[in-house]
Amino acid sequence: MTALLEALDLHMQFPAGRGRVVRALAGVDLAVMAGETLGLVGESGSGKSTLGRALLRLERPTAGRVRAFGEDVTDLPERQLRAGLRRRAALVFQDPHQSLDPRLRIADAIAEPLEVHKVGTATQRRAQVEALLQRVGLDPAVASRRPHAFSGGQLQRVGIARALALDPAVVVADEAVSALDVSVQAGIINLFMDLQVERGLAYVFIAHDLKVVERISHRVAVLYLGRVVELAPVAALFSTPRHPYTRALLASAPVPDPHRPLQPPVLRGEPPSPIAPPSGCPFHPRCPIAVAACAEHVPRLQVVGAGHTVACDRLEVSA
Amino acid sequence: MDLTSRNQTETSSPLLAVEALGVAFGAVPVVAGVSFTVARGEAVALVGESGCGKSMTARALLRLLPPSAHITGQIHIEGVDVLAASPGDLRRLRGTRTGFVFQDPGQALNPVHPVGEQVAERLRLYSGLSRAAAAARAIELFAELGISDPAARARAYPHQLSGGMRQRVVLAIALACSPALLIADEPTTALDVTLQAQIMALIRARQRAADLGLLLITHDLGVVAQAVDRVLVMYAGQIVEAAPVAELFDQPRHPYTRGLLQSMPGAAPVGARLFSIPGQVPSPGAWPPGCRFGARCDRVQAQCATPVALAGAGAHRYRCVNPVPAP
């Protein structure tokens, strides 16, 4: 398999006022392979959205490299990105109400990437918009309407059609189903999965809902305070999670089974701020198996199984 | 309202009794004919998707809707007729007999006052505590609600606290005057999953310890399963199914409830397609005269074109003439 997008020791810092910085990413190594879905999970401040945007070079990393389709794009100017990365990778946002221009007819919103990249004639573009609308499950007759006329689920289909316009190889979906009602969400998840089979698309699927991630992903990376703490094939991650944070995250998810008694919460406290991250292992202040040494060194990722790596120095305890 | 629940209302005099509740904005109804009860110590969930009217229902209970909302029907809390209550009665109901937790704790807190003062103010106003006693009690409440270093946190302003801490503060205000009824509208929706688990466990523990009636408004069936005794499912302004929580999950009778359960992301085996309910929720103002789910339903029949009443026996009722067969 070939890597489409790669993060190499990626660091991202943002100014947070009064001379402070937010360390959104603190050394991430990750590759998105052709045709796969890589799930990114983590809580607020984990850096998962920042990572998605950095992989698309929508943000310029503070340190480290970003490679896209084999090329180092870390320092490329926007003009050069447009000829390569921007054509072959796309982003689907959480809230299509915010990502779509309210004044633009949805046909124009979907055609916009085609126009920017000067693809086809006006007639060809119109035909392609129609085909895209149909493919995402919308009646082409709605093409002339504006976003306000659509429900959240329909608008997310518009967002997906727009992302597909340039026939990308990889799509970053940032909480793309999180704001949708469950009955609508199911249809969008199915659509994402069907499109992957049809087009061989790769996804970076960022979500906080673990059940959604389990369903759609081939591999899952768990982020905590800007670091990947565990990366594994989806079955291994959900059946034999090794990092104490992954375990806590899985145990915290509500279980839709009224016969299972309510479990006491496994984690106390809240994720520390990425402005003042703890020393050593970022999880140690909340970790049930941490020892003094965990505050000293940042644990390295170790291989614990096929494609399964974990950043924890207490693996002998969490086995 | 059918006979079963009317008897229930009269004999056990529930903490909260809602009968034929309607909410309309101008000529457009958003809630219509909603009837239910919550008993002392009972946890009830009002579940539904965006626009079904669940939050409108919750807010109508304490007349927290904007003046343009027209509320009809009957609401009784501890026997007090909410819609006919005097300003003084309403103030007492809101201040001491009920607590309200919203999705966004930012909305419930005053940004320019320390959070401890906001809890203390509630205690001074409604429980008649002195300034010093109220301040001390606020710190005690913070400790009870799992706020670490409560005395220091009491001096913090809302923006200095994380979302999870703010929601604990809102819960402290809601519980300050020992209410009988807690109304929680999507209390954990804006929180991360590890915090969601903490806040739900806290709400459930307080509810049991204080014999509180709990009305939990949520879109998340996963949260509901382990948090409540009974579930009311709303669709397009109506309750379409009401059942004890285990029955609702084990044998949903309304096709919409079944659809909701089947479309949950964990419902189908990994790799299989998820069930997805076709079509769209009809908007308020465009509700059909018959079953409001009919146009999306795979069990629809000719009779569904006329209004459908809640049917069924005992605690399990559903608004469907061709219900999903019981297993």
ipTM of the complex: 0.87
Tell me which chain B residues have a C-beta less than 8 angstroms from the C-beta of A152.
Answer: 50
Tell me which chain B residues have a C-beta less than 8 angstroms from the C-beta of A155.
Answer: none
Tell me which chain A residues have a C-beta less than 8 angstroms from the C-beta of B275.
Answer: 186
Beta strands in A59-146 (DSSP E): 63-68, 71-72, 89-92
Q: From CA A222, how far away is CA A228, in angstroms rounded?
A: 6
State the smallest CA–CA distance between residue B250 and chain A in angstroms. Answer: 9
Q: What is the pLDDT of residue B8?
A: 43
The maximal CA–CA distance of chain B, rounded, in angstroms, is: 67
Q: What is the pLDDT of residue A254?
A: 87
Mean pLDDT of the region B106-131: 93
Q: From CA B272, how far away is CA B241, in angstroms rounded?
A: 28
Judged by CB atoms closer than 8 Å, whether chains meet at A183 and B277 is answered as yes
Q: From CA B169, how far away is CA B163, in angstroms rounded?
A: 10
Whether the per-residue pLDDT at A319 is higher than 90: the answer is no
- Helices A122-135 and A106-116 pack at an angle, to 10 degrees, of 120
Question: Which of B49, B196, B219, B274 to substitute to test the interface with A, most A CBs within 10 Å?
Answer: B274
Mean pLDDT of the region A10-18: 92
Judged by CB atoms closer than 8 Å, whether chains meet at A257 and B265 is answered as no
State the smallest CA–CA distance between residue B42 and chain A in angstroms. Answer: 16
Whether the per-residue pLDDT at B157 is higher than 80: the answer is yes
Contact (CB, 8 A) for A115 and A166: no
Tell me which residue has tokens 């079963």: B4
**What is the pTM assigned to this prediction?**
0.90
State the smallest CA–CA distance between residue A246 and chain B in angstroms. Answer: 11
Q: From CA B84, how far away is CA B74, in angstroms rounded?
A: 9
Contact (CB, 8 A) for B300 and B294: yes
State the smallest CA–CA distance between residue B201 and chain A in angstroms. Answer: 7
Number of Cβ atoms within 10 Å of the Cβ of B272:
11
A316 touching B, CB under 8 A?
no
* Residue B203 pLDDT class (50, 70, 90 cuts): very high
- Tens digit of pLDDT for each residue in B306-320? 999 999 888 999 999
Judged by CB atoms closer than 8 Å, whether chains meet at B225 and A260 is answered as yes
Tell me which chain B residues have a C-beta less than 8 angstroms from the C-beta of A209.
Answer: 265
